Amino acid sequence: MRANLQRKPTASRLIHQLLAFLPGLLTLLFPVWFFGQDQSSLLSKEEVRRFLLTAEVVKSEAIGKGITHPWRLTLSDGELTHDASFQDVDVRAQEAGFAGGGRELNFADSFHYNVAAYELASLLELDDMVPIAVEREWKGKKGSLSWWVDDVKMDEEERLAKGIKPPDTGAWNRQMHKVRVFSQLIYDTDRNLQNILISNDWKLWMIDFTRAFRTLRKLPEEKDLAKCEKTLFSKLLELTKEAVSRTAGAHLTKWEIEALMARRDLIAAYFQRLIAEKGEAKVLY
């Protein structure tokens, strides 16, 4: 009678068994880190939008930073948990005065501009620099709900205060040129340094657009425009009033859209003059 002999497991077989078991163990021990955070980076833009619109608010905390009193909300759909920024400010006045002594006619400070900024960024293929934002009601108030930017190292104000230099100056400058073009286009009067976030991989994010989209048909700081990415320049030239109205018309007035298109024309003409003077290679990248 033959004895049933069992082969001793080899080292390679043990390693394969361990690797097969490890993901499940990590998911069990660290569900938020292993499943939640990683999964959020795999979501499509439409899935992120749907999450922001439908996920349950399970936690809320006043950010305590900024004059619009934004909130940091934690949302969950039962599988994914992620944070978002909620702003419900919607103030409009014929004239407003500021602590520094300045005054502004046709003043507006509105959450609608956060949503409009994302929709416009999508048209210009800049939506990798502006968090997805939707309109949503929370605690009886309508506001904008913007995807919380993960992995933030610091904001631009902190970087300058500490004298920290970007590891890749060329890549940094290319991002900053995009920020400046977009800020001129939407006439953002509050593009302060705290509203430019820097991730750990030195990627720039623009946040908080509640004081953008002025009805002025001029550029706030034309001298800020030095260079423009080729794709962005092409998208600017292709931009139409109809496309803006279709995607952001629920959040912008017709006067705001008309002023936006007028500034688009000014930006296009400015870069075309620079190209004529310096050559395309020194203006577009």
Could you give the CA distance from residue 88 to residue 113 in angstroms, rounded to a whole number?
A: 11
Neighbours of 142 (CB within 10 A): 12
pLDDT over 50 at 245, yes or no: yes
Could you give the CA distance from residue 122 to residue 235 in angstroms, rounded to a whole number?
A: 10
Predicted structure pTM score: 0.84
Could you give the CA distance from residue 172 to residue 157 in angstroms, rounded to a whole number?
A: 15
Give 160-211 pLDDT, tens digit per residue.
Answer: 999 999 999 999 999 999 999 999 999 999 888 999 999 999 999 999 999 9
Give 14-49 pLDDT, tens digit per residue.
Answer: 445 544 454 444 444 443 333 334 456 689 999 999
Residues 6 or more apart whose CB falls under 8 angstroms from that of 225 comprise 180, 181, 184, 219, 267, 270, 271
Tokens standing for 283?
A: 């203006």
Give 102-158 pLDDT, tens digit per residue.
Answer: 788 889 999 999 999 999 999 999 999 999 999 999 999 999 999 999 999 999 999
What is residue 17's predicted lDDT score, i.e. its pLDDT?
52
Could you give the CA distance from residue 257 to residue 252 in angstroms, rounded to a whole number?
A: 6
Neighbours of 139 (CB within 10 A): 10
DSSP per-residue codes, the chain: ------PPPPHHHHHHHHHHHHHHHHHHH-HIIIIIIHHHTT--HHHHHHHHHHSEEEEEEE---STT--EEEEEE-SS-EEEEEEE--EEEEEEEE-TTS-EEEEEEEETHHHHHHHHHHHHTT-TTSS--EEEEEETTEEEEEEEPPPSEEEEHHHHHHHTPPPS-HHHHHHHHHHHHHHHHHHT-TT--GGGEEEETT--EEE---TT---S-SS-S-GGG---B-HHHHHHHHH--HHHHHHHHTTTS-HHHHHHHHHHHHHHHHHHHHHHHHH-GGGTB-
